[in-house]
Structure 1
Amino acid sequence: MWSGVPRWARVCTVFGAVLMFLSGTVLVGTEVLMARYEGAVGKADLFGDQAAGANGRKSDIKGPLNILLTGIDPRKPETPPLADSIMVLHVPASLDRAYLFSLPRDLYIDIPAFEQAGYRGGKDKLNAAMSYGSRKDGQNPDAAQGFQLLAQTVQQVTGIERFDAGAIINFSGFIRIVDAMGGVTMDIEREVRSEHRRPDGTHRELRRGGGGYLGEQAVYEPGEQHLEGWQALDYVRQRYPKNGVPDGDYGRQRHQQQFVKAMVDQAFSADVVTNPVKLDRVLRAAGQSLIFNGRGHSVVDFGVALKNLRPANIQMIKLPGGGIVENGNYRGERFEPAVADFFTALKNEQLDVFLLEHPQFQNKASGAGSQ
Structure 2
Amino acid sequence: MATQSKHVKSSFLPTLIVNGLIFGLVVVFLLGGAYMGYVLYYTVKSAVVRANLPGLNTANLSLPQVVAALPLTGNSDNVAVQLPAVDPAADQNQPTSASGATLPNYEKKERINILLLGVDRRPDEVYSRTDTMILVTIDPNTKTAGMLSIPRDLWVSIPGFQEDRINKAHFLGEQYKYPGGGPALSMRTVQYNLGVPVHYYAKIDFRGFEKIIDTLGGIDLYVPQTIDDPKFPDNNYGYDPFYIEEGYQHLDGHDAMRYARTRHTPGSDFSRAKRQQQVLLAIRDKALQLGMITKIPELWATMSDTVETDLQLVDILELAQLAADLDTENIR
TM-score range, shorter chain: 0.5 to 0.7
Of Structure 1 and Structure 2, the greater strand share is in: 1
Q: Distance in 1 between matches of 2:27 and 2:110?
A: 19
1:247 to 250, 253, 267: 267
Provide the aligned length of Structure 1 versus Structure 2. Answer: 264
Q: Which amino acid aligns with 2:39?
A: V
1:222 to 246, 249, 259: 246
Residue by residue, what CA displacement relative to the aligned partner does 1:172-219 show, whole Å, maximum 9, x if unpaired?
11011001111111111111124357xxxx99994xxxxxx59xx543
Q: Distance in 2 between matches of 1:33 and 1:48?
A: 23
Evaluate the alpha carbon distance shift between residue 143 and residue 124 of structure 1 in structure 2; reply closer, same or farther with a 3 A threshold: same
What TM-score do you get using the length of structure 2 for normalisation?
0.67
1:269 to 289, 313, 325: 289
Is the Cα contact below 8 Å between 1:28 and 1:304 reproduced in 2? yes
SS in 1 for 2:118: strand
Residue by residue, what CA displacement relative to the aligned partner does 1:253-283 show, whole Å, maximum 9, x if unpaired?
111111111111221122213xx2x232234
Is the Cα contact below 8 Å between 1:72 and 1:83 reproduced in 2? yes
Is the Cα contact below 8 Å between 1:20 and 1:286 reproduced in 2? no
Query: Aligned-residue CA RMSD in angstroms?
Result: 3.8
Q: Does 1:60 align with 2:106?
A: yes
Is the Cα contact below 8 Å between 1:66 and 1:164 reproduced in 2? yes
What TM-score do you get using the length of structure 1 for normalisation?
0.61
Q: Distance in 2 between matches of 1:188 and 1:34?
A: 39
Aligned position for 2:71: none
Q: Distance in 1 between matches of 2:23 and 2:230?
A: 21
Is the Cα contact below 8 Å between 1:184 and 1:228 reproduced in 2? yes
Give the CA deviation at 1:167. 1.2
Evaluate the alpha carbon distance shift between residue 33 and residue 203 of structure 1 in structure 2; reply closer, same or farther with a 3 A threshold: farther
Structure 2: which 5+ runs fail to align? 1-21, 31-35, 52-57, 66-92, 98-102
Q: Which amino acid aligns with 1:81?
A: S
Evaluate the alpha carbon distance shift between residue 70 and residue 143 of structure 1 in structure 2; reply closer, same or farther with a 3 A threshold: farther
Residue by residue, what CA displacement relative to the aligned partner does 1:148-184 show, whole Å, maximum 9, x if unpaired?
2211110112110x32321111221101100111111
Aligned position for 1:280: 297
Aligned position for 2:195: 159
Give the CA deviation at 1:232. 0.5
Evaluate the alpha carbon distance shift between residue 191 and residue 58 of structure 1 in structure 2; reply closer, same or farther with a 3 A threshold: closer
Q: Distance in 2 between matches of 1:55 and 1:112?
A: 17
SS in 2 for 1:134: helix
Q: Which amino acid aligns with 1:175?
A: E
Is the Cα contact below 8 Å between 2:188 and 2:198 reproduced in 1? no
Give the CA deviation at 1:296. 7.5
Residue by residue, what CA displacement relative to the aligned partner does 1:63-121 show, whole Å, maximum 9, x if unpaired?
311111112223458722212211100112326321101111111111121xxxxxxx2
Aligned position for 1:96: 143
Q: Percent identity?
A: 27
2:183 to 137, 141, 147: 147
